[in-house]
Amino acid sequence: MKIKAPEGSESFEVPSNAVDYTIDWEDKRNQSNNGRFEVRKCGGGWGDPHMRTFSGAKFNFQGRCRYTLVRDCRTSAPSFDISAAFRRRDPDQIDSPTRMVEVTARVKGGNTYTFLEDNSILVDGRQVHERAIFIGDNHGHIEADGHSVNLHLKEADLALTWIGKKHEASVSIGNYDLSGKLCGMLGDGSSVRGHDLVKSDGTRTFNTTEFAESWVIPGSCE
């Protein structure tokens, strides 16, 4: 990825797996243009489906159930829990490739929000037509624009973007207090690759299918 710098300074490369960088720049012609921005921890999945953890590790996974993507694992009562349903493209073909068809966000003390393939929104299983939804007592919000659905949770500084047409979900976490304290298919948020493949029982594996299947939600399979 190439970062475009302000006029008067040079562009520079950031490694393609950069997911947690702070970048400072200096404009040699105009010091008032000096600045900083962050490349946030970001993970997710797309297509049929290709997955990427918060530390940039990539793997493919042909699941047919609902799986935990990321959850706050600091306590037994997580402040948020985001999952995705994986289903076959062709239900009549047993070996048909799968893809994510919906994502669900559960928020502690609040509602359950599900985003479908057509970007429609369910709140506690009921379809709503509002394009802007506030979550709880100022805990966050959801915005939909036809192209995507975007959820933001304030405490975690979590941003979830769902593009149903592309079967694509991306999650970024800005609260660094959660680094190493997340769990699910997207890793623990520590940006340490060796910590990626931790199963739901706390053990590690080098087998990505075994890892992903450990995050299945019971009773959710086809």
Q: Which residues of 92-102 are buried (b: 16+ CB within 10 A; e: fewer)?
A: eeeeeebbbbb
Nearest to 158 by CA among 139, 179, 172: 172
Chain-centre distance of CA 92, in angstroms? 29
At 76 the pLDDT is 87
> C-alpha angle with apex 62: 193 to 119, nearest 5 degrees?
95
Q: Is residue 36 very low, low, confident or very high in pLDDT (cuts 50, 70, 90)?
A: low
- What pLDDT band is residue 18 in, cutting at 50, 70 and 90? very low
pLDDT digits (tens, 9 = 90+) for 174-207: 888 898 999 999 999 886 767 788 999 999 999 9
| Signed CA dihedral, 71, 152, 46, 179: sign only | negative
Cβ atoms of 122 and 133 closer than 8 Å: no
- Using DSSP, state whether 96 is helix, strand or coil: coil
Q: Would you state the pLDDT for residue 17?
A: 46
The fold of the 43-213 domain, in CATH, is: Protein Transport Mog1p; Chain A (3.40.1000)
pLDDT tens digits for range 90-104: 888 888 999 999 999
pLDDT in tens, 46-90: 998 899 998 888 999 999 999 999 999 998 889 999 999 999 988
pLDDT digits (tens, 9 = 90+) for 136-162: 888 899 999 989 999 999 999 999 999
Residue type, 167: H
Mean pLDDT for the stretch of residues 10-23: 53
Distance between CA atoms of 205 and 13, rounded to whole angstroms?
A: 32
Q: Helix or strand or coil: residue 156?
A: coil
The CA-based dihedral angle spanning residues 145, 3, 69, 63, taken in that order and rounded to the nearest 10 degrees: 90
- Residue 170's pLDDT is 94
Provide the residue ranges of all domains of the chain, joining segments of one domain with +.
2-39, 43-213
**Is 112 a residue whose pLDDT tops 70?**
yes
The H or E element that residue 211 is part of is helix 208-213
Residue 26 has pLDDT above 50, yes or no: yes
Q: Quote the DSSP letter at residue 220.
A: -
Q: In the beta sheet, which residues pair with residue 60?
A: 50
For residue 114, pLDDT over 50 is answered with yes
pLDDT for 16 beyond 50: no
**Angle made by CA atoms 191, 84, 38, in degrees to the nearest 5:** 30
Res 153: pLDDT:
95
Distance CA 85, CA 132 (A): 24
